[in-house]
Amino acid sequence: MERCPNCRARWEGGETCRRCGMDLAPLLAVERAVECLIARAVGELAAGEMQTAVHTLGKARDLTAAPLIGHLRGFVHSLREGPRGSDQPSDSSGEPRSG
């Protein structure tokens, strides 16, 4: 988080916005959960557990639309397709671009 979603003040690392006093703890907890899910998915990919990684990335995507999640899903898709499908670029959702 770089800014308070309520008043757009710069976030200075606390659990409360310095300007408007909004409680940021729930949002910070979601960010931490997403980071853990992404790290778990990368570990699952390294272990060759692609289906489990896809499921874990789906959980992360339910929490946020971070581009990294889409890129990782695209990577998994390219691994599933093999060499002949690897030349298809993917969009940020991880699905191959059409056309």
Give the pTM: 0.74
Q: What is the pLDDT of residue 54?
A: 94
Domain locations along the chain: 25-82
Per-residue pLDDT of the chain in tens (99 residues, 90 and over written 9):
899 999 999 999 999 999 999 999 999 999 999 999 999 999 999 999 999 999 999 999 999 999 999 999 999 988 888 765 445 555 555 555 555
Who contacts 5 (Cβ-Cβ below 8 Å, separation ≥6)? 22, 27
For residue 24, which phi and psi values (nearest 5 degrees)? Answer: -95, -5
